Amino acid sequence: MSDLFFGLSTVFMVAGLFFAFASVVGVIRFPDVYTRLHASTKALSGGAMMILAGTAFRAAAAGHWPAMVKTLLIAAFLLATNPLASHAIARACYRHGIVPKGTVIDEYAEKIRGDRS
Amino acid sequence: MTAFVLWGLLLTAALGFWRVIVGPTIPDRIVAADTLATILTTFIALLAVYFENAVFLDIALAFAVLSFADVLIMAKYFEHGELHR
Amino acid sequence: MTMTRPDNLSLTMIALALVMTGASSLFAGSRDKEGSRRDLVPLWLFCLFACLTALASTWLSFIIGLELSTLSLFTIIRKGDEATSRLYLLAQLAGASVLLFATSLGSSFEGNLPLGPVPPGLFPLFVIGLGVKAALPGLHFWLPRTHSQAPTEASALLSGYAVKMGIYGLLRLVGDPSPPLLLLGIVMALYGVVQALLQHDAKRLLAYHTISQLGFIVAALSTGTPLGRTAALFHIVAHALFKGLLFLSAGSLERLYGSRDLNGLGRAGRDAPLLFGLFLVGASAIAGCPFTSGYVSKIVIKSALTDQGQAVLGLQLAGLGTTLSFCKFGYYGFWKSSGDRPEPRGFLGRQAYGAMALLAAATALVGAGPLLYPLLPLPEGTLLAPKALVDATIPVIAGIVLFALFPGLFRPRHKDVADVENALAPLGRLLLFPLTLLRLSHTGRLRAYIALIVAALIAIFHSL
Amino acid sequence: MSTAFFTFLAAFLVVTALTASEAQDMLSAVIALSVFGVLMAIIFVILQAPDVALTQAIINSGLVTSLFLVAYSQTQKRGDDPDREDDR
Amino acid sequence: MLPISYGTAIVVFCIGLYTILSKRNLFKTVIGLSLMEGGVLMLITSSGYVPGGVPALLPFAGGEPVNPLPHSFTLTAIVIGAADVALALAFIIKIHRRYGTVDIDKIRGLRG
Amino acid sequence: MKVSPIKPMVLAVALFLAWMATTGRLDLPFLLTGAVIVAIVVRITWATFFAGAHDFSLRGKPWPKPCIAALLAYPLFFFGELLYATWEVALIALRPYIELNPAIIRVDSRFHNSTALVLLANQITLTPGTLTIDADIPHQGLYIHALDLGKEGIDGVKKQIHKLEQQMEELIR
Amino acid sequence: MNPVLAIVAPFLAAFTIPLFFVFRKKWVGTAVILFGVLSALTALFVAAGGEAVTVMGGWQPEVGIALVVDSLTTAFLILASLGFSASLSAAAETFGYGPWRFYVLFFLSWAATNGIILTGDLFNLFVFFEIFSVAAYLVVAYPPRSWQAIEAGFKYLIFGTVGALFLLIGIAYAFMATGQLNMAILARVLPRAPEATLSVVIGCLVVGLFIKSGTVPGHFWLPDAHSSAQTPVSALLSGVFVKVSLYALIRLAFLLFGSADDRVFFVLLLFGTVTLCLGHLMAFQQEDIKRLLAYSTVAQVGTIVIAIGCASSGGVTAAVYHAFNHMAAKMGLFLVSGVLAEDRASRDIAQMGGLFRHRPLFVLAFCLFAASIAGIPPLNGFMSKWFLLVAAAERGALIPAAAVVAGTVLSAAYYLRPITAFFGPAETEPPHHRPHPVTGAIVALLALLCLVLALAPYIGPLKEGLLAVGRDTVNGARYIERVLR
Amino acid sequence: MRVHRNLQRLGALGLSLALGWWLWQGVTISPFQGITGPAARYIHGTARDTGAANVVAAILFDYRGFDTLGEASVIYTTVCGVALLFAKRRYRRSSHGLSFIVKRGMALLVPFILLYASSIIVMGHLSPGGGFQGGAVMATVTVLFCVIYGSSFEAARVSPKVKETIESSGALLFTAIGLIGLVTGGAFLTNSAAGFPRGMMGHLVSGGTIPLLNIAVGMKVGAGLSTLFYSMVKILEDPTESSPPEV
């Protein structure tokens, strides 16, 4: 059981590292704020979840259940706060007047105009 | 193994910091800061694994709770130009 | 303050202080009714502190007494002229500070430096410190201005006693013969006279004479012999009395005519003959006419200096100058009358005459005393010896003759003559220039401040 | 913890400090400062000081950064940014 | 590892000092202060580190604990530093109200 | 309006579980202290954030009725979505050339409940290719930034959102 | 009496005043006065209780934080309680009890001052310095309506923080080298540290204390703060705050630096001399009377630093004595000039003509204090200056001594300017004539204190006490032995 | 101008480097590194002396509790001073905030954050954390209120007077515990020697005064920092203020 958890934790960690790396690459390479937010939120949440899951498995492998529960708590907090934060950033950017690059359709702009008038 | 992941995360964080340095606009930097906060939170959790001491998880928890507060404040500032509206 | 059982020197000084203050307060009291009582307080405070100074047994308590008396005189001088009083106070403080510094170098927590000869290394510092008090050449910058601008009673006290406190210190200080000091004394005597001849302000003229006479005293005490010290002490007393008298009469002139400028006076001899008579007593004493106090003291000084012929010659020259300038003073101040001279505006009270009479009487007493009784440690009959009489008469006669021959040469000018004090203002400006630069250093730039701190820290690291 | 890793972390810390010092824009300086604080906390963790790390984490993200932002937002109504290059 | 830690601490301290000395923005000054403070904190904490130590939490799991005394100083110093920073920022707000600028070289009302 | 004691109890239980997770101990003193603290926290926050007069509190609005089976199935679905989203973004980020067709579109939701709407918005943020920018609560509209419209265009995104909505509807029927 | 009470009493005051404000607003004034009396009495009782060592928490001195009362401590406790009481009374008259937060800060700074004086632990010293400094920045910036106050407070803040960081780094190096924090133990083990470490410790601590006390490279905050603060605060700053930092300098210099290296005293002499000269020369050029007094304070700080630099018991005696004298005289000067400046609604010396006619007693008191500061005999300033000169002469420090002596003349020169103005002709009648009964009484008491202090070298017990302070302080071994007994 | 600035930078760099070089010279690594002096006593005696599991907390609140009183007083002073700096000002109030999503999300998160803060305070003697940390987290919650819900919201919740009271009571509680130690144990802040229960190590009730002091500090810091935020966030220009001359 413990060996299984250990192996699982390794797998999760490496996968998480990959995703985290990919998300940071996204943050660097994507063209504008909104797309970068995509990378930062989704990929990173996923990566962090995986790494934390790996941590939790490792704790479980060591039989340290409180640590595992705490790790899950951290994950829950991250999961709850990350979308909120990125939503706030996105809204702030838009309200501040940063125009998304190359958007095909922008339905939000009409709403903003409506709000302002 | 953990050491490898730690190295990787640190390099990733350093890459993310590149965005903080060059980020053409402020929201880019905020996004990068958010990214870094998350990465470093997991980094600390991994350090707890590395040192095999559950105490360090508390610090990760504190980060998870508080880093988003910073990002929210930055967003608020960026949206309104002031914080007290 | 540490006191000691008084010796004769101290007692003499105390008596002198009492007489001088008495005369000054009499004169001051006669001035006007309102507020004169309150004005007397600093005068008598000065007397008190002067006595304390005379009684001091350590240099520290001497300095304390000195500064206290300076302060009380300062409050009197303030009434005459504000700026002058400031100059006086600062000059005196500077002198006392040098003295204090020198004293501290000789003292320790266990014991203070006793009043008396000091280690040779400290001697120059002490001379400088006391020199400001005693107006040694170069350090006399405060004296003429202070004496002339101060109220008359203060001038009398200044010249009569305050300056003598420095001399008293020198008297205590000098134990061995000191040739440089002798040279200083001669230079002083001559310089004072030359400057006095060039003055047109009555009190200023008297002030330079003070310097000149102090030169006599310094020359006497620099011999270090008992005779020299006695001579110095005797001249201190004599000079205090007649110079006080002269200042009071100059002050009376000012009170009568509202001016001290010799160009603007000239009928006092007829308006106030008593004043003229009193003045003549003082003038003859200072010129050293035979059988006056000045005569006696100069004889004693010359006999103390018998070894140094050139010094005696210098002193004779100074005596000649003295006669000349007092001829000038008497002639232009009291006698040279013409129609357009001012009418007397003021009025001299009985008290003023009393004060002057007191001093005149004392002068006469001091002059007559040694002639009648062998008070001084001189060989019997020295004072009345023909050689002494001739020695004393030559400058007087020569002076009068010279004055009569070339009156135009000694006419009072209309301009002040340059002296060290004129250099004070430019010197001050010169020193103030870097000060303004220093003030610019406080620019309000926080970063520069912090850089300075860090630099200091690095410097400290270097030095540790 | 291997020395190389720690060295890298320290270099990263120095880079964040330099960024906080040299950033033209104040907000990015503040962001760099907050990252600096996080890295300090990580270094404290590596130095086996969990208490200090926790305090640093909380004080830095909760207090100092927010205060900087508060103060910065209060001072942006008028005035200029003196550290911008003059020719810009 | 310890020399690196000390060196980094000193370097960070110097960066903070450099920031204070060379930047005109008051916020940069305060950032410099907090950088300096960070350097000092790192220095103190490093001074208590024992190679291979564990945190000073009883019971010590698997090894010698590190020195807890510098940790308590660092804690105190962190809080004090944060208080200083807060105060400095409050003052900056006040100064901006008066002077309309946060340029340190223009805040020179008191001179001479 | 009378507050039913059950609703605060839900919060209290959640808090108590969180307490146990943070402390990691199950001693009696810890549990007692936890109970006290949870009571205090609920007392402080309930009136403001859950029953207060503010527009963001839950007062006067119907609560969702959770269904247990869906509650258990939901996390699996959720993590699956999250993984997929991560994978997709990672692929895009690591592609040699990045070509995107971003768009901001309005999606009208069927949810009347604002809490559900908020949950949905967060959910959208964590699902592939979409990011909530703003919510128009009174009209149940969500403004969504789509990373890449792809071939299907707006309809594809809308379809995806509605699928998500359906999933959540099962959860809180 | 347990020494800790001297710290706790003002702390209690600071913590209770807000409660009074919240619950019984009318009692705030009474509470302030009562707590002021209580704090002063506690400190005086502690001072009177004689030598004592107590350790917080009942541990050994090495483990806990020790509070040490010895003769130096006693002297400075008395100084602090006198200064704080005087300033508190003046503040109560000037401000009323409306700004209760000001009093909170006041009591906090009082507690911190007592803490700095009493503590025997290096880090605790830093902590108390920090409370003290933070309170000081804020009382300087009170009231925050005038731009001068804010700017001065901010500059003081930056300076103080940099100074605190230097102090902290010095303490960190000392700790790094020894692992100890108790000053007595450090005094034993620190000399064994490597040379370079020692120089860093000493340099950083000295510079930190220079900044806090206003010695030359760190003096820039001092004139700004003194001239911008309210009158009671300026009096407090000059009278007590600066002295407390100098106390720490004395303590550390003789306990930690002295045994290690004699060169540190040379540094002190050097910087003291520069401070003295600069202070006098800058004061000479000021138009603003409070700024003049502030630069005079800088000069006096230099004097005290020179006295410390003499590195002898006589020097310490002179330093403590001079600290007392300067406290009495400078507090009086600030209070009087505050009253006079209020009469003319200006701090410009040129505007202060003819005040002697309206406030003769205050002006006379000003003259007395000024004479005392300038060192006119036989006032107290002269006496301490004499002590200092003798100590410097024994040390062979001629240039500093000469500077001190020259400073006398300069300070007389610049103090004569306002005095001349006061006695000069009046330009206008004062707009209103507010009586200042409390300030007047304090000024009178301070004048009396000046006179008593002038007699101190002639009063047996006082003189013995002063000399004992010097002896005990220089003798570090005795301190160590008493703490580690 | 440009040259001047570069010169300034160069000078600053030089000074910093010189200082850094000296500091580097002074670093000592070998002889006293690690456990020397009182540290050994702290490490080995904490369990016996105080009963707390967290040695750092034992040092902070017991062995060197006086430092902590000072440290808390620094915060107290700062808070008081900032309130003094921004006193007597009409506050600008606003109910604007961030978007509804954030508001609602935050509403769900606040109880958990408060709970976390409380747990940090309560567990101070057992795990990392304590009064400062917990108090700071609580204060962060209040600043989040200001930011997310607008300032009027926060003002409606907790009035400044209540905060004042809590802050002062925390400080007084700390002092009172110290004084109890003085009365019963002979020295200020005496812990177990004054009769406070030492408890079983690792249990909640252990460490004597340490948890109580943690709570006191938590009250003080939490209320104080939120007052500080509150004062700094909402200020309005005061027309009576004076402005300096142009430089």
CATH of the domain at E90: 1.10.287.3510
Residue G214's region, left for phi above 0, alpha for psi from -120 to 50, else beta, is left
Q: Which residues of C touch G413 (CB under 8 A)?
A: 86, 90
If one compares A109 and G79, the residue with the highest pLDDT of the two is G79
Give me the percent of chain H exceeding a pLDDT of 70. 84
Burial degree of C393 (CB within 10 A; 0-12, 13-18, 19+):
middle
Res C293 pLDDT > 70: yes
Q: Do F93 and F13 share a structural domain? A: no
Q: What is the pLDDT of residues A11-53, one digit of tens each?
A: 888 888 888 888 888 888 888 888 888 888 877 888 888 888 8
- Among H56, H86, H53, H72, residue whose Cα is nearest residue H216: H72
Q: Do C215 and C135 share a structural domain? A: no
The residue-averaged pLDDT of C126-147 equals 87
The residue-averaged pLDDT of G365-373 equals 92
Cα–Cα distance, H66 to G124 (Å, whole number): 8
Q: How confident is the model at residue F51 (pLDDT cuts 50, 70, 90)?
A: low
Q: How confident is the model at residue F65 (pLDDT cuts 50, 70, 90)?
A: low
Q: What is the pLDDT of residues G221-264, one digit of tens each?
A: 999 899 888 899 999 999 999 999 999 999 998 888 865 567 88
Q: What is the pLDDT of residues C239-287, one digit of tens each?
A: 998 888 898 888 888 888 877 888 777 777 777 888 888 888 888 888 8
Say if residue F62 is preceded by a cis peptide, omega within 30 of 0: no
Q: Do F40 and F110 share a structural domain? A: no
DSSP label at residue C112: P
Cα–Cα distance, H169 to G149 (Å, whole number): 31
Q: Do F85 and F143 share a structural domain? A: yes
What's the N-to-C CA distance of chain E in angstroms? Answer: 49
* Chain C residues within 8 angstroms (CB to CB) of chain G: 1, 60, 63-64, 67-68, 71, 78, 82, 86, 89-90, 93-94, 97-98, 100-101, 104-109, 435-436, 438-439, 442, 446, 449-450, 452-453, 455-457, 460-461, 463-464
Token representation of residue B44: 């600390």
Please check whether residue F138 lies inside any domain of the structure: yes
Q: In what order do the strands lie in the sheet with F141-146?
A: F103-108, F141-146, F130-136
DSSP label at residue H245: P
G124, H188 Cβ separation under 8 angstroms: no
Q: Do C449 and C391 share a structural domain? A: no
Q: Which residues of A touch F161 (CB under 8 A)?
A: none
Q: Do F82 and F40 share a structural domain? A: no
The residue segments making up the domain with residue C333 are: 175-417
- Which residues lie below 8 Å from residue G213, measured CB to CB, with a gap of 6+? G242, G245, G246, G249, G301, G305
The helix (run of H) or strand (run of E) holding residue G130 is: helix G122-140
CB pairs under 8 A between D and H: 45
Phi, psi torsion values for C417, nearest 5 degrees: -95, 145
Cα–Cα distance, A18 to A44 (Å, whole number): 10
H140, H110 Cβ separation under 8 angstroms: no
Q: Does B52 touch chain E (CB under 8 A)?
A: yes
Burial degree of H93 (CB within 10 A; 0-12, 13-18, 19+):
middle
Q: Where are the alpha helices (DSSP H) in G345-475?
A: 355-358, 360-374, 380-395, 398-423, 437-455, 460-474
Q: Do C209 and C76 share a structural domain? A: no
Least Cα separation, residue B66 to chain D (angstroms): 6
Burial degree of C437 (CB within 10 A; 0-12, 13-18, 19+):
exposed
Q: By 3-state DSSP, what share of chain G in percent is helix, strand and coil, each rounded to 5?
A: 80, 5, 15
**Which residue reads 């699956």 in tokens?**
F80
Cβ-count burial E9-27 (b if 16+ within 10 Å, e if not): bbbbbbbbbbbbbbbbbbb
Q: Which residues of B touch E59 (CB under 8 A)?
A: none
Q: What is the pLDDT of residues D27-62, one digit of tens each?
A: 889 889 998 999 999 999 988 888 999 999 998 888
The residue segments making up the domain with residue D48 are: 26-73
Least Cα separation, residue C458 to chain E (angstroms): 13
Res C374 pLDDT > 80: no
Give residue G427's pLDDT: 67
Pairing of strands F130-136, F141-146: antiparallel
In this complex, which of H100, H118, H204 lies closest to F27 when CB atoms are compared? H204
Residue H127's region, left for phi above 0, alpha for psi from -120 to 50, else beta, is beta
DSSP string, C353-405: HHHHHHHHHHHHHHHHHHHHS--SSS-TTTTT-HHHHHHHHHHHHHHHHHHHH
Cα–Cα distance, G100 to G448 (Å, whole number): 31
3-state SS assignment for residue C394: helix
Q: Give chain B's length.
A: 85
Cα–Cα distance, C208 to C206 (Å, whole number): 5
Cα–Cα distance, H96 to G295 (Å, whole number): 51
Per the CB < 8 Å rule, is F104 touching A108? yes
The residue-averaged pLDDT of F56-79 equals 68
Q: What is the pLDDT of residues H163-173, one digit of tens each?
A: 888 899 999 99
- Which residues lie below 8 Å from residue C155, measured CB to CB, with a gap of 6+? C147, C148, C203, C206, C207, C247, C250, C251
Q: How confident is the model at residue C341 (pLDDT cuts 50, 70, 90)?
A: low
Q: Give chain G's length.
A: 485
State which amino acid sits at residue C242.
Answer: F
Please check whether residue D66 lies inside any domain of the structure: yes
Please check whether residue D34 lies inside any domain of the structure: yes
Q: Do F74 and F38 share a structural domain? A: no
Cα–Cα distance, F159 to F165 (Å, whole number): 10
- State how many domains chain G has: 1
Q: How confident is the model at residue G327 (pLDDT cuts 50, 70, 90)?
A: very high
Give residue C81's pLDDT: 84
The residue-averaged pLDDT of G400-426 equals 88
- State how many domains chain C has: 3
Least confident residue range of B8-22, E23-37, F1-15, F68-82: F1-15
Q: Does A68 touch chain B (CB under 8 A)?
A: no
When computed from its CA atoms, the radius of gyration of chain D, rounded to whole angstroms, is 16
Least confident residue range of E9-18, E20-29, G383-392, H43-52: H43-52
Least confident residue range of D11-25, F25-39, G108-122: F25-39
H212, H173 Cβ separation under 8 angstroms: yes
Res F36 pLDDT > 70: yes
Cα–Cα distance, F20 to F31 (Å, whole number): 8
The residue segments making up the domain with residue G342 are: 4-483
Strand partners, B51: none
Strand partners, F108: F141
Burial degree of G48 (CB within 10 A; 0-12, 13-18, 19+):
exposed
- Which residues lie below 8 Å from residue H43, measured CB to CB, with a gap of 6+? E56, E65, E67, E68, H35, H55
Give residue E10's pLDDT: 92
DSSP label at residue E57: B
**Which residue reads 């600053």 in tokens?**
H12
CA neighbours closer than 13 Å in the CB half-sphere of residue D88: 7
Burial degree of G208 (CB within 10 A; 0-12, 13-18, 19+):
buried
Kindly report the CA angle at G148 between G144 and G151, in degrees rounded to 5?
85
The helix (run of H) or strand (run of E) holding residue F136 is: strand F130-136
Give residue C34's pLDDT: 52
Q: By 3-state DSSP, what share of chain H in percent is helix, strand and coil, each rounded to 5?
A: 70, 0, 30
C58, C112 Cβ separation under 8 angstroms: yes
Kindly report the CA angle at G124 between G120 and G130, in degrees rounded to 5?
130
Please check whether residue H7 lies inside any domain of the structure: no
The residue segments making up the domain with residue F24 are: 6-50
Kindly report the CA angle at G453 between G451 and G455, in degrees rounded to 5?
75
Please check whether residue H24 lies inside any domain of the structure: no
Kindly report the CA angle at F161 between F155 and F163, in degrees rounded to 5?
105
The residue-averaged pLDDT of E82-103 equals 87
Q: How confident is the model at residue E53 (pLDDT cuts 50, 70, 90)?
A: confident
Cα–Cα distance, A5 to A11 (Å, whole number): 10
- State how many domains chain D has: 1
Q: Does D83 touch chain H (CB under 8 A)?
A: no
Q: Do C244 and C135 share a structural domain? A: no
Please check whether residue E59 lies inside any domain of the structure: no
The residue-averaged pLDDT of C314-332 equals 87
Give me the percent of chain F exceeding a pLDDT of 70. 80
Q: What is the pLDDT of residues C82-99, one digit of tens each?
A: 888 888 999 999 999 999
Q: Give chain A's length.
A: 117
Q: What is the pLDDT of residues G148-176, one digit of tens each?
A: 888 899 999 999 999 999 999 999 998 88
Res G114 pLDDT > 90: yes
Q: Do C383 and C361 share a structural domain? A: yes
E60, H46 Cβ separation under 8 angstroms: no
Token representation of residue H153: 């919201």
The residue-averaged pLDDT of F31-56 equals 78
Interface test with D, best of E6, E11, E12 (most D CBs within 10 A): E12
Please check whether residue H22 lies inside any domain of the structure: no
Domain residue extents for chain B: 2-80
- State how many domains chain H has: 1
Give residue A65's pLDDT: 84
Cα–Cα distance, B37 to C443 (Å, whole number): 43
If one compares G352 and G12, the residue with the highest pLDDT of the two is G12
Please check whether residue E56 lies inside any domain of the structure: no
Q: Which residues of G touch C82 (CB under 8 A)?
A: 420, 424
Give residue G41's pLDDT: 93
Least Cα separation, residue B84 to chain A (angstroms): 15
Please check whether residue D5 lies inside any domain of the structure: no
The rounded Cα C355 to chain-centroid distance in angstroms is 20
**Cα dist from C416 to C199, C327, C376, C413, C422, whole Å:** 7, 20, 41, 8, 10
Res G369 pLDDT > 90: yes
Q: How confident is the model at residue C150 (pLDDT cuts 50, 70, 90)?
A: confident
Res H234 pLDDT > 90: no
Res G431 pLDDT > 70: no
CA neighbours closer than 13 Å in the CB half-sphere of residue F123: 23
CA neighbours closer than 13 Å in the CB half-sphere of residue G441: 8
Pairing of strands F141-146, G66-69: unpaired
The residue segments making up the domain with residue E37 are: 2-50+65-106
Res D84 pLDDT > 50: no
Q: Do C403 and C457 share a structural domain? A: no
Per the CB < 8 Å rule, is E87 touching G134? yes
Per the CB < 8 Å rule, is E17 touching H19? yes
E26, E104 Cβ separation under 8 angstroms: yes
The residue segments making up the domain with residue H70 are: 31-236
* Chain G residues within 8 angstroms (CB to CB) of chain E: 123, 127, 130, 134, 137-138, 141, 144, 147-148, 150-155, 157-158, 161-162, 164-165, 168-169, 172, 175-176, 179, 181, 223-224, 227-228, 285-286, 291
Q: Do C139 and C14 share a structural domain? A: yes
Q: What is the pLDDT of residues G378-387, one digit of tens each?
A: 888 898 898 8
3-state SS assignment for residue A49: helix
DSSP label at residue C312: H
Res H237 pLDDT > 70: no
Give residue D80's pLDDT: 43
Q: How confident is the model at residue C171 (pLDDT cuts 50, 70, 90)?
A: confident
**Which residue reads 């142009």 in tokens?**
H246
